[in-house]
């Protein structure tokens, strides 16, 4: 027994690491529940542009003739199958594909073993990010921990990493939108910092760490090319005088070291250069929107992840107090912010906060830990309490809003200031919708308003919101009155096409529906539907299966459900009804709809 206990204590770090890894993977698998070929699946839009290199390299090749019809549409057009030129085109770099290809080969083998179609597109491949992203998150945190331990005590390092993981959008891009570049870039930044520090400690003699540094640099470029600004750290890390800077340059700038670094870098980026020779593309603009990136309700960094504002304060405090590397990190952060805010679509489309800044959190971990280490207990306690609340803020937004809706895109109101990006018109400074988002997240106790509509479907019921479809019948057993509506003609009577501004002067963000139903016949595909139309086309459609709301038949049952709504223009029209595609006889009475705004 003592021998076993001693072995456990000897290897407790490894055991703890494995346990944390299992927890991360479990969380990731729980969030991977959306199936395939839809906007919430793992490989949609941008993510599919990163992923397509894998099935192209190992299965189909890069010629369009080898791909199924409309496969690009099924993946949200993150890549294009150009039949005319007979080429697969993706504007996204291949860094993630290079980092995950061993895992892809394992899942490809599992597809053969488990009977899935081994084409790179079947369901089993969608589980790969549930392994790869937690793996790189965990290894990134581990390497960042080792780097930070050169400067700060264990406790402060642990607290800073925990706050960054749970209090920022790193958590979201690790476990929700997990095949975007940001968690992988965060890991690469951590590897880079670790390798650079080790190389400096070796007095610039370790080939192992120089090669590791060059490989990290190549992957950083291939994952997000603009992140190469991290190279500015190489000549300045730990420099505190001009003489030490010149000595650093002398140690670095030798033919042998430059050649070794260049070879490692080129080996990594060569596949991308070959592909860019096959096709071409460009994407960067220089018209910075720094204020918007930081403060706008449309994905503003400080509004969605306010703990990052604390990190900026700690960074500036470090500069004032002349903490080690603070000026370097401040400079790199400003340059990165300039480049991020200069992107053509500076709000980065469907995002949670400022997603391209996720990887730079690795740099801000050091000033955070330094701030904690050099403060009195009172200030440290206040800081940690603030971090706990901001972690709650972040996780509430993720759990209650972004885990399902995935992004904030403003409203489509006619009097908005528009920003165009990714073919979507969105409102930049929509504070009303940001408040609604916080309401949904249940972060602050905002006062809400309601409008209630009731209908027992009796003939004398008539109001602006009710459109009779002659689907009412007389029933002696009606819960109230003598008439009910039915789905025998496929659609029931209900709440029909009424402009939203007739309900309230604010935006409706949530609808509760209750009704008595009696399933005289069962239709497994019957739904209670909430449909919203805008400009004569369906803007939002959501259905709740009736058999899942109640499994009882031939008796009256009260059902309750609700719908979370996207941000909708006042000109939208609502339609709430019961639908039986098989035209089964399902009776409905005492329908009650509560609009929350």
Mean of the pLDDT values across residues 158-168? Answer: 91
CA distance 516 to 514: 7
Note every long-range contact of 275-281, with CB atoms under 8 Å and residues 24 or more positions apart, other chains counting: 275/53, 275/62, 275/94, 278/62, 278/87, 279/87, 279/89, 281/89, 281/91
Model confidence at 187, pLDDT cuts 50, 70, 90, reads: very high
pLDDT at 377: 85
> Contact at 8 Å (CB) between 358 and 168?
yes
Q: 185 pLDDT exceeds 60?
A: yes
1 vs 435, higher pLDDT: 435
CATH architecture of 450-596: Sandwich (2.60)
For the cut 70, the answer to whether the pLDDT of residue 499 exceeds it is no
Q: Are β-strands 586-596 and 510-519 bridged in parallel, bridged antiparallel, or unpaired?
A: antiparallel
Q: What is the DSSP letter of 122?
A: S
Q: Which residue has the tokens 């549930």?
A: 130
How confident is the model at residue 281, as a pLDDT? Answer: 42
Reference 592, options 456, 487, 465; nearest CA is: 456
Torsion over CA: 141, 146, 151, 157 (sign): positive
> Directed axis angle between helix 307-320 and helix 361-373, to 10°?
60
Average pLDDT score over the chain: 81
Residues 216, 181 contacting (CB under 8 angstroms): no
Distance from C-alpha of 7 to C-alpha of 16, rounded to nearest angstrom = 13
pLDDT of residue 497: 59
Q: What is the pLDDT of residues 117-140, one digit of tens each?
A: 999 888 889 889 888 998 999 999
Q: ∠ CA 470-475-480 to the nearest 5 degrees?
A: 95
Between CA 468 and CA 461 the distance in angstroms is: 10
Q: How many Å apart are CA 286 and CA 232, to the nearest integer?
A: 20
CB neighbour list of residue 255: distance below 8 Å, 6 or more residues apart: none
**6: which residues sit within 8 A by CB, 6+ positions away?**
none
pLDDT at 279 over 60: no
Sign of the CA dihedral with 252 first, then 254, 255, and 260 last? negative
Residue 495 has pLDDT above 70, yes or no: yes
Q: What is d(CA 71, CA 510) in angstroms, rounded to the nearest whole number?
A: 35
Between 78 and 32, where is the model more confident?
78
Would you place residue 596 in the very low, low, confident or very high pLDDT band (cuts 50, 70, 90)?
confident
Give the burial class of 557: count Cβ atoms within 10 A of its Cβ; 0-12 exposed, 13-18 middle, 19 or more buried: middle
pLDDT of residue 423: 43
**Cα–Cα distance, 167 to 308 (Å, whole number):** 8
What whole-number distance in Å separates Cα of residue 19 and Cα of residue 16? Answer: 5
Is residue 135 within 8 Å of residue 128, measured between CB atoms? no
C-beta separation of 25 from 131 below 8 A:
yes
Look up tokens 């008796």; give the residue: 555
Task: Show me where the domains of the chain are located.
Answer: 32-127, 131-405, 450-596
Q: What is the pLDDT of residues 578-593, one digit of tens each?
A: 999 999 999 999 999 9
Distance CA 388, CA 446 (A): 21
Please say whether the beta carbons of 73 and 134 come within 8 A: no
Calculated CA dihedral for residues 357, 358, 360, 366, nearest 10 degrees:
130
Residue 287's pLDDT is what?
A: 67
Write out pLDDT tens, residues 46-94. 888 999 999 999 998 888 888 888 888 888 888 888 888 888 888 888 8
Instruction: Look at residue 393 and tell me whether its pLDDT is greater than 50.
Output: yes
Strands (E), 400-471: 418-421, 424-427, 450-455
Residue 454: name the closest of 551, 543, 576, 550 by CA. Answer: 576
Instruction: Label residues 395-410 b or e (16+ Cβ within 10 Å = b).
Output: eebbebbbbebbbbbb
DSSP-derived 3-state class of residue 89? strand
With CA atoms as reference, report the closest residue to 222 among 168, 294, 270.
Answer: 270
- Position of tokens 């060569």? 270
CA 107/CA 257 separation, integer angstroms: 38
Q: Tell me whether residue 387 is exposed, middle or buried, using C-beta atoms within 10 angstroms of its C-beta: 0 to 12, 13 to 18, 19 or more.
A: buried
Taking the C-alpha atoms of residue 550 and residue 559, their distance in angstroms, rounded to an integer, is 7
Across 428-583, the runs of DSSP E, i.e. the strands, are 450-455, 472-474, 483-486, 495-499, 510-519, 527-534, 537-545, 557-564, 573-579
Q: CA–CA separation, 205 vs 202, rounded Å?
A: 6
What pLDDT, on a 0 to 100 scale, did the predictor assign at position 212?
92
Cβ–Cβ < 8 Å for 508, 584: no
- Residue 351, pLDDT > 60, answer yes
What contacts 463, CB < 8 A, 6 or more positions away? Answer: none
Q: Which helix (H) or strand (E) holds 335?
A: helix 326-340
- C-alpha separations of 536 from 425, 465, 532, 539, 564 in Å: 18, 18, 10, 9, 22
Q: What pLDDT was estimated at residue 500?
A: 54
Q: Does residue 108 surpass a pLDDT of 90?
A: yes
Residue with the larger pLDDT of the pair 276 and 105: 105
The torsion defined by the Cα of 162, 168, 171 and 176, in degrees rounded to 10, comes to 170
Q: Point out the least confidently predicted range of 298-312, 370-384, 464-478.
A: 464-478
Which residue, 233, 183, 189, 197, is CA-closest to 50?
183
């Amino acid at each position: 027994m003592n021998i076993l206990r001693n072995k456990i204590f000897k290897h407790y770090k490894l055991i703890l690491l494995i346990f944390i890894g299992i927890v991360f993977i479990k969380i990731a698998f729980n969030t991977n529940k959306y199936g395939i070929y839809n906007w919430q699946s793992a490989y949609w839009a941008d993510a599919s542009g990163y992923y397509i290199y894998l099935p192209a390299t190992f299965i189909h090749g890069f010629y369009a003739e080898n791909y199924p019809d409309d496969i690009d549409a099924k993946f949200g057009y993150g890549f294009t199958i150009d039949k005319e030129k007979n080429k697969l085109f993706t504007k996204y770099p291949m860094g993630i594909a290079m980092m995950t290809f061993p895992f892809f080969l394992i899942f490809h083998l599992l597809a053969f073993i488990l009977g899935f179609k081994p084409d790179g597109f079947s369901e089993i491949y969608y589980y790969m990010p549930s392994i790869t992203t937690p793996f790189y998150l965990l290894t990134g945190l581990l390497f960042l921990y080792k780097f930070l331990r050169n400067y700060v005590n264990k406790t402060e390092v642990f607290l800073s990493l925990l706050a960054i993981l749970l209090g920022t959008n790193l958590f979201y891009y690790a476990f929700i939108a997990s095949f975007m570049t940001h968690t992988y870039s965060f890991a690469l930044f951590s590897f880079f910092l670790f390798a650079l520090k080790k190389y400096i400690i070796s007095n610039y003699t370790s080939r192992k760490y120089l090669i590791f540094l060059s490989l990290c640099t190549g992957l950083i470029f291939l994952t997000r090319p603009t992140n190469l600004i991290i190279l500015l750290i190489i000549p300045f890390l730990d420099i505190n005088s001009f003489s030490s800077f010149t000595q650093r340059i002398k140690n670095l700038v030798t033919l042998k070291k430059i050649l070794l670094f260049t070879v490692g870098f080129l080996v990594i980026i060569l596949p991308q250069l070959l592909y860019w020779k096959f096709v071409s593309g460009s994407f960067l603009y220089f018209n910075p929107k720094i204020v918007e990136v930081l403060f706008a309700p449309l994905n503003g960094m400080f509004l969605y992840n306010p703990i990052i504002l604390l990190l900026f304060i700690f960074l500036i405090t470090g500069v004032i107090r002349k903490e080690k590397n603070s000026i370097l990190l401040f400079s790199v952060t400003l340059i990165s912010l300039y480049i991020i805010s200069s992107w053509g679509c500076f709000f980065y489309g469907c995002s949670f906060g400022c997603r391209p800044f996720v990887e730079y959190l690795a740099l801000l971990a050091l000033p955070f830990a330094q701030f904690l280490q050099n403060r009195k207990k009172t200030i440290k306690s206040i800081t940690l309490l603030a971090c706990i609340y901001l972690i709650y803020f972040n996780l509430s937004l993720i759990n209650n809003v972004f885990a399902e809706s995935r992004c904030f895109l403003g409203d489509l109101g006619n009097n908005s200031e528009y920003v165009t990006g990714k073919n979507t018109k969105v409102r930049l400074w929509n504070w009303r919708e940001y408040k609604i988002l916080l309401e949904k997240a249940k972060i602050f106790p905002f006062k809400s308003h309601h409008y209630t509509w009731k209908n027992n479907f009796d003939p004398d019921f008539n109001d602006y919101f009710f459109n009779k479809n002659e689907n009412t019948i007389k029933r002696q057993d009606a819960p109230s009155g003598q008439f009910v509506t039915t789905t025998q003609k496929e659609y029931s009577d209900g709440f029909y096409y009424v402009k939203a501004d007739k309900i309230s002067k604010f935006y409706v963000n949530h609808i509760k529906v209750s009704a008595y139903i009696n399933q005289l016949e069962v239709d497994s595909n019957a739904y209670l539907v909430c449909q919203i139309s805008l400009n004569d086309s369906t803007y939002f459609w959501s259905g709740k299966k009736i058999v899942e709301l109640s499994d009882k038949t031939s008796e009256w049952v009260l059902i309750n459900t609700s719908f979370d709504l996207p941000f909708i223009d006042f000109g939208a029209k609502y339609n709430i009804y019961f639908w039986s595609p098989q035209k089964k006889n399902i009776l409905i009475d005492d329908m009650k709809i509560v609009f929350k705004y």
